[in-house]
Amino acid sequence: MQKSAQSSYAPSSPITSQPLIGTLKFSFILLIFIILCSACGQTGESTDKTQWSQSDGIPDNEDIVSIQIEPAAIILKAGQTMQFSVHAVAKSGHEYLNPSLNWQVDDSKVAALQSDRQVYAVAEGTATIQAQWQGITSNPVEVIVPGDPMFEQQWHLKNIGQNGGTYGEDINVEPVWRGGHKGQSVLVAVVDDGLEAQHADLAANFSELSWNYADFSNDPSTGVHGTAVAGLVAARDSNGIGGLGVAPRAQLAGYNLLENYSTINEADAMLRHADQVAVSNNSWGAVDGTGELFRSYQPWREAVQTGATQGRQGKGVIYVWAAGNGGRMEIDNSNYDGQANNRYVMAVAAVGDDGVRAGYSEQGANLWLAAPSRGYSGQGLLTTDRTGERGFNASVTHWDVAEKDFTRYFSGTSAAAPVVSGVAALVVDANPALTWRDVRLILARTARVNDPNDADWQSNQGLEHRYPINHKYGFGVPDASKAVALAQTWQPVSQEYQYHSPVLWAETAIPDNDSNGIISNLYIPEDLVIEFVEVVFDASDHGNQGDLSVSLTAPSGTQSILAQAHSCRAEPCSSRYINWVFGDARHLGESSLGNWQLHVNDTRAGYTGSLRSWSLRVYGRKNG
Amino acid sequence: MAKWFTLILGLVACLSANADPLYWHDGDGQWQLWPSDDEIAVFTPVPASGRFKATDMDAAVVKAYPSMQIWKLPPGAKPFASKALQKQAWSPVFYEFPNKGGRRMVPTGGVLVRFKPDWSRDKIAAWLANRGLKNMEFVFNISHTVAVESSAGLASLTLANALHKEQAVIHASPNWWIEVEPR
């Protein structure tokens, strides 16, 4: 195959060119086309196929064997023009860059050919474009004219450096939509303070399975926060309004738990319509920024266990949880939250438009993923907002977008979690047979390493795959395109096994103000391929849990920081390590067999206590 | 129900005299509660003034949630003796940890009860009916677990602790409101 020294796509000979006469002829044809096209629009008539014939550039004696076309953009706003690049290969071995070809668009109401290789977006919808030459047809390209005028501000979906963001720091979702996966038939529960049912950008996806815990109706149009969360999951696409969600055709069931919170309602919200709910988004939790240990309660724990193991016809509800916003000064760690660190949820941290951890986002060995939100630049996520003056964007917030039914400042791990929920919905759309465990594994396996210069990144010792892990980011930022691609070929994981070690009664004093601390060892005789580890830790006689640092080292050598010395809002901390359950995601794929080591130290003088006991619970599948 | 009433009176005495510690059960675990001595939770709508005034009670709303408000009581207030509060749906406020540590907790009414796994629905219903207890209507679906009606406040805590001691019951816990927030 001959190649030009200038460009791999440039023809070796002859080089296509556009002589002046050709240009004039071309302009005349273009003018005729525009007149015809505008007349078409005025009368409302349309044709099924539009043809544009330009055959300059490839000699008649060349036998073309393949044509590849590539669009400059997949998504176009109505009124925009977009150019294709063309790579044609001849039997002779010659390659032609951007030769003139015959083009066709399968829906001229959506897009029309403006000139050779140029497509003009007419109105919202989807059009498939192909080029032909000598009976050879190119690959089809689907161009989306979403009619979502704020899409270009949604950097979390497509980061092209808007307002100083870092190009590519997004979830790579466009190819998924192009492939036809938008979350159709997937029900996502948004457990929050409400969801505005009649919001113009949500109404089409609103599910009657919604529930209002305050008035026992199916209309949860209360609160403010949940409407913004819902828009990030599934604001409707192609409706000429606002932006779009990650899974813009998923169905949204709003459960306004926070309007009438109680432990019974909380458990109910985890299980309501669990036979149909695929993803449960939870952008809420215990109060952040206190440094205290806030355990979960039995009804909730039983509910998420039931939902994950029995929901969705046995495939399980996928619970997504905001990791927590108490990360400033490292006061809170996501592992101090007994919901965010539960093995049935995926805890999601927040990164900014530069891919770097948001200052408020909590670290933790329990984190599964990180996702876009408002970071150091201050650029939040654009999403739906309560209509009119009822939302975040009211008349006083003049810095926000002009359309008061939307906001571009949604932030917190609250904003990061629904981005992951949307990706999970796309994965389930691509392969509805996947279990909750499959979806978690797929998202971990395909996550992208963000903030690659961060010193905490390391690879674990996974048997089949060495997962990159980071206490700030879990396995990284989801890559929707890779996740959906993997979902389509994924072989379901085998049956889950658990190993619960005996309780090791250490009863060992933790030396005060001593960084060496104590080490305790526990041997696990079972060889499981790990999917999650729980450490049950008791130092209940210690006077200040905030003095303690706790880390776990696996037989593989992979270390997890479970707790770090920290201050509490009120000193000393009130809570104690009474059989506290830490969650640890970092050993994913590693073998459980061997010696596990717990290191506890107290680096602050004053309060004292002991490591009373600890044990391990390993969840995974049998190795071999 | 006389048994429950006696227990409630006993708990009121505990709260007033700051005597024996209060406990509740979360699954198999027993957890202590620390009552607030200057806060109560009121389930009725917030007065427009944000303040509740009566001859024997002068309280201000310190935190309003959609389903209830936390009221700060003046020093020396005796909410159980307040005639004004008898007209309100209210509850003491508890904390998870000492010295107002951790989250506020309020029994909102209702008790979650787990029965033995071999008990049928009919058997559970008959058992509850024999004790004058009613099942709350919920979609909630955890096996052998039902939500039983009770008033808010101490009645809920008392009933839960009493049911927890029953042979047929594996565990029983009050239906708590706990401080949670959007993130």
pLDDT tens digit sequence for A510-521:
999 999 999 999
The pLDDT assigned to A285 comes to 98
Residue reference for tokens 């059960």: B25
Partner-chain residue, chosen from A223, A285, A570, that has the shortest CB–CB distance to B101: A570
Is residue B12 predicted with pLDDT exceeding 80? no
The pLDDT assigned to B140 comes to 59
Q: Would you place residue A275 in the very low, low, confident or very high pLDDT band (cuts 50, 70, 90)? A: very high
Mean pLDDT over A610-616 rounds to 98
CB of A341 within 8 A of CB of A582?
Answer: yes
Asked if the Cβ–Cβ distance from A258 to B145 is below 8 Å, we say: no
Asked if the Cβ–Cβ distance from A263 to B112 is below 8 Å, we say: yes
CA angle, A435 as apex, A432 and A440 as ends, to 5°?
Answer: 110
Per CB-CB distance under 8 Å, the chain A contacts of B177 are 261-262
Mean pLDDT over A543-550 rounds to 97
**Crossing angle of the two packed helices A225-234 and A413-430, in degrees rounded to 10:** 30
Question: Minimal Cα–Cα distance from B26 to chain A, Å?
Answer: 6
| Segments in A290-434 forming alpha helices (H) | 298-310, 413-430
More confident residue, A109 or B52: A109
Phi/psi of residue A425, nearest 5 degrees: -65, -40
**Burial, A193: exposed, middle or buried (Cβ in 10 Å; 0-12, 13-18, 19+)?**
buried
The pLDDT assigned to A368 comes to 98
Question: Minimal Cα–Cα distance from B65 to chain A, Å?
Answer: 8
Question: Minimal Cα–Cα distance from B177 to chain A, Å?
Answer: 4
Cβ neighbours of residue B45 under 8 Å, at least 6 residues apart?
none
Asked if the Cβ–Cβ distance from B142 to A267 is below 8 Å, we say: yes
Asked if the Cβ–Cβ distance from B140 to A292 is below 8 Å, we say: no
Q: How much of chain B is in helix, strand and coil states, percent to nearest 5?
A: 25, 45, 35
pTM of the shown model: 0.82
Superfamily of domain A151-489: Peptidase S8/S53 domain (3.40.50.200)
Distance CA A161, CA A354 (A): 9
Mean pLDDT score across all residues of chain A: 90
Tens of pLDDT, residue by residue over A293-304, are: 999 999 999 999
The pLDDT assigned to B18 comes to 52
Most confident of the following: A51-55, A212-216, A498-502, B90-94: A498-502
> In 3-state terms, what secondary structure has residue A299?
helix
Longest C-alpha distance within chain A, in Å? 93
Is residue A171 predicted with pLDDT exceeding 90? yes
Chosen from B33, B94, B139, B183 to mutate, greatest number of chain A CBs within 10 A: B183
Amino acid at A283: S
Is residue B17 predicted with pLDDT exceeding 60? no
Q: Looking at domain A20-144, which CATH architecture does it have?
A: Sandwich (2.60)
Q: Would you place residue B20 in the very low, low, confident or very high pLDDT band (cuts 50, 70, 90)? A: confident
B24 CB within 8 Å of a chain A CB: no
Question: Residue B66, preceding bond cis, omega within 30 degrees?
Answer: no
Is residue A609 predicted with pLDDT exceeding 80? yes
CA angle, B177 as apex, B175 and B179 as ends, to 5°?
Answer: 150
Cα A81 from chain centroid (whole Å): 30
Per CB-CB distance under 8 Å, the chain A contacts of B175 are 262-264
The pLDDT assigned to B54 comes to 64
Q: Which CATH class is domain A497-622?
A: mainly beta
Residue among A173, A102, A115 nearest A144 (CA) = A173
The residue ranges of every structural domain in chain A are 20-144, 151-489, 497-622
Same fold, A151-489 and A497-622: no
Partner-chain residue, chosen from B29, B99, B112, that has the shortest CB–CB distance to A574: B99
CB of A160 within 8 A of CB of A90?
Answer: no
Mean pLDDT over A267-284 rounds to 97
Q: Percentage of chain A surpassing pLDDT 70?
A: 91
Per CB-CB distance under 8 Å, the chain A contacts of B173 are 263, 297-299
